[in-house]
């Protein structure tokens, strides 16, 4: 997880506002965007709960990076959206976490982090509630795939 923190410029602790947050408080009306690879989706078109079970994960703020731009950047993935209010209602903390002047990452003023200080099972329960309410957008671009060869029938 250390590399994740470094890549996303996250602080070592989960509590407290980021001192480098130039955008101030992230309001409840903010729409949050995240992309989910196809492997993390279920047949009902929702993300797996497991996609949200980590103590923290990254999102982008739609007010600073609108949905069309976000989908363009992640055109082969599903995009999910939920409000900061919904996440907070479940028990997550949502904080602005802009990436600026990072040696490894491009600037991203829209970056925010969703954190959760609970234990593993409680995190899973919260993750299920979140996955149930997110709105899902299919990939903007679906690569052409050749049909897989048919499976042989048992002799």
Partner 1 sequence: MTTIDPSSLAFTELPLPDDDPIEVARYFENLTHDGGTSGLGAAISVGTTDLPQLANNLGALVEDPRVRLAEAIVKMGRLEPDWDGNGAPAPDEGAIATALRFLSLVPSTLQVPAVAPATDNGITFEWDLKKLRAVHCIARADRIEVHAFDAEATYASLCLAPLKAAAVATAIVSEWQVSESVTG
Query: Which residues are at the interface with partner 1 (CB under 8 A)?
Result: 1, 3-4, 7-8, 35-37, 39-43, 48-51, 53-54, 57-58, 74, 77, 120-122, 124-125, 128-129, 132, 151, 153-154
Look at residues 107, 113, 99 and name the one whose alpha carbon lies nearest to residue 26.
113
CB closer to partner 1 out of 22 and 146 = 146
Helix (H) or strand (E) run with residue 88 in it: helix 84-90
Q: How far is the CB of 58 from partner 1 (least distance, A)?
A: 6
User: Are 126 and 116 contacting, i.e. CB atoms less than 8 angstroms apart?
Assistant: yes
Instruction: Give, as one character, the DSSP assignment of residue 55.
Output: S
CB closer to partner 1 out of 62 and 105 = 105
Q: How far is the CB of 31 from partner 1 (least distance, A)?
A: 19
């Amino acid at each position: 997880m250390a590399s994740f923190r470094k890549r996303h410029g996250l602080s070592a602790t989960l509590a407290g506002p980021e001192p480098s947050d130039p955008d101030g408080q992230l309001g409840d009306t903010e729409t949050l965007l995240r992309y989910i690879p196809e492997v993390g989706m279920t047949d009902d078109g929702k993300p797996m709960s497991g996609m949200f079970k980590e103590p923290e994960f990254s999102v982008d703020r739609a007010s600073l990076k609108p949905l069309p731009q976000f989908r363009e950047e992640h055109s082969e993935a599903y995009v999910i959206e939920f409000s900061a209010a919904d996440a907070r209602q479940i028990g997550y903390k949502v904080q602005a976490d802009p990436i600026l002047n990072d040696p490894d990452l491009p600037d991203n003023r829209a970056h925010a982090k969703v954190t959760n200080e609970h234990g593993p099972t409680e995190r899973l329960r919260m993750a299920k509630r979140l996955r149930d309410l997110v709105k899902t957008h299919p990939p903007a671009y679906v690569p052409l795939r050749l049909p897989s060869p048919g499976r042989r029938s048992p002799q």
